[in-house]
Structure 1
């Protein structure tokens, strides 16, 4: 799947690493409501360009997952400031 990496010259490898690092930083630096979204622009950096076959849970299960995610943030980042802004579509 990643055979293309072995064929890249140094300049192409450096460019690839820089692009991946930038995308990871963008994802890492997400905050507030942006934490709730999937990140197709991150996935687009993979060489295999496929349409992700996502499955969306029904609302009750989805909302329980959101609550569980928020609870995990409470455990993993207890000192994080809160972001009280309403979501603005």
Structure 2
């Protein structure tokens, strides 16, 4: 799957690592409502495309997943700053 790396020069590999790190940092640094978004720009850093659209849960299952994700943030980041900012409709 990563055979393209075998043909890269040291300089190309360094550039690839920098590109991937930039993408991971952008995803890591997402905050507020941006945590909830589909992130194809991160996945597009890979040389291959996924080949199929994601499977999207129906609303009740999706909302249960959102609640579980938010609950996990309380457990994993108990000291995180809380925000009362409303969602503004912009991804």
Q: Could you tell me the TM-score, scaled by structure 1's length?
A: 0.94
CA shift at 1:84, angstroms? 1.4
- Alignment-derived partner of residue 15 in structure 2: 15
Which structure 2 segments of 5+ residues have no match?
A: none
- Alignment-derived partner of residue 87 in structure 1: 87
Which structure 1 segments of 5+ residues have no match?
A: none
Count of residues paired in the alignment: 89
- Bigger relative contact order (CA 8 A; separation at least 6): 1
Partners of 1:12 and 1:83 lie apart in 2 by: 41
CA shift at 1:53, angstroms? 2.2
Tell me, yes or no, if structure 1 residue 69 matches structure 2 residue 69.
yes
Runs of 4+ in 1 over 2 A off after TM superposition: 49-53
RMSD: 1.0
1:78 alignment partner, SS class: coil
Q: Could you tell me the TM-score, scaled by structure 2's length?
A: 0.92
Partners of 2:52 and 2:36 lie apart in 1 by: 17
